[in-house]
Amino acid sequence: MSEFPYTSGATVLTGAASGIGDALARGLALRGVDLAVIDKNAEGLAALAADLRAKYPRLNISTHAVDLSDADQIAALPEAVKSQHRRVSMLINNAGVALGGAFQDVSLADFEFVMDVNFWATIRMTKAFLPDLLEAAPAQLVNLSSLFGIIGVPGQAAYSSSKFGVRGFSEALRPELAHQGVKVLQVHPGGIKTNIANAARIGENVRREQVGDVRSSCNKLLTMEPRVAAEQILAAVAAGKNRLVITKEAKFLDVIARLMPSNYGSTIGKLMAQKSGISAEKLIV
């Protein structure tokens, strides 16, 4: 394995206790990167850290159980991280949550929760750690958007709004930081086999009898192992890329959205029906 950049400082990684975050933590540890791993799931973090410390005893791995919907907890993170790491050379904003249901069936409180974790936590984490990245430059910021930050999908108004926001933030920030030695990589994963569908909140007015079938159908759309996605992300970091779309279906829909920006919906519906066995309309729940 060729030498990985940004090993001179720690990587701060959110959503590290499961899914892509867990796989990123393991991939970074393999590459000799010190880690400050963050998640709301303290047990999951502890298990991850124990495993990595056993395998890589020379690495400095700190755990931080934080609710990323809480701005005050995020504000306290830099001091906590820097008490255990000399410098921070990479920040990966990976944590995310989902909300199922048509817009009219979800509460504003649930919508705000998704925005807090997916969008505002990305903004707040970047604001909190940007001074450290600038000090460590050359440094790296990685923001995970989504395929749903490229296309809008029925039943995912909150999730798409948050991920379009992450995309816009990343694209605007990249040229601002380029001359200061901080690269910005935006990542748009497609269907990755994580627990996001099972863990998703469901709108308060959604018909409960359909929830189980819809979760099962959504899980059929998740085809790529997190480890594979994580390796693609780390390879993109090493190559200095600005943008990464993951899974062949996501790459196809990325092209379709650019070629047919006003009427890509029918293509999305057909692909979702083919992969999951359920129509896009029914996925709205």
pLDDT tens digits for range 58-104? 999 999 999 999 999 999 999 999 999 999 999 999 999 988 888 99
**Where in the sequence numbering do the catalytic residues fall?**
159
Tell me the average pLDDT across 50-61. 98
- Fold (topology level) of 10-207+224-247: Rossmann fold (3.40.50)
How confident is the model at residue 191, as a pLDDT? 80
Q: Among 171, 170, 192, 194, which residue's Cα sits nearest to residue 250?
A: 192
| CA–CA dist 111, 117 (Å, integer) | 10
Report which of residues 164 and 191 the model is more confident about: 164
Q: What distance in Å separates the CA atoms of residue 243 and residue 241, rounded to the nearest whole number? A: 6
pLDDT of 142 higher than 80: yes
Mean pLDDT check: name the lowest of 4-18, 240-254, 265-279.
265-279
Query: CB neighbours (10 Å) of residue 242?
Result: 13
pLDDT higher at 257 or 144: 144
Sketch the domain layout of the chain as residue ranges. 10-207+224-247
pLDDT of residue 281: 47
| Lowest mean pLDDT, pick from 129-138, 212-221, 258-267 | 212-221
> Cβ distance 40 to 68 under 8 Å?
yes
State yes or no: pLDDT of 283 exceeds 50. Answer: no
* Pair 146, 99: CB distance under 8 Å: no
pLDDT value at position 3? 86
Give the per-residue pLDDT at 285: 40
- 19 — alpha (psi -120 to 50), left (phi > 0) or beta? left
Lowest mean pLDDT among 96-105, 113-122, 189-198, 238-247: 189-198
Tell me which of 217 and 97 has the higher pLDDT: 97
Q: For 171-183, b where at least 16 C-beta lie within 10 A, e where not — what string? A: eebbeebeeeebb
In the prediction, which pLDDT does 155 show? Answer: 83
Residue-level pLDDT at 284: 40
Q: How confident is the model at residue 41 (pLDDT cuts 50, 70, 90)?
A: very high
What's the mean pLDDT when you consider all of the chain?
89
pLDDT of amino acid 273: 57
pLDDT over 70 for what percent of the chain? 82
pLDDT tens-digit readout, 160-180: 999 999 999 999 999 999 999
Closest among 216, 208, 100 to 158, alpha carbons compared: 100
Copy the structure tokens of residue 267. 């293509």
pLDDT at 200: 60
pLDDT over 90 at 278, yes or no: no
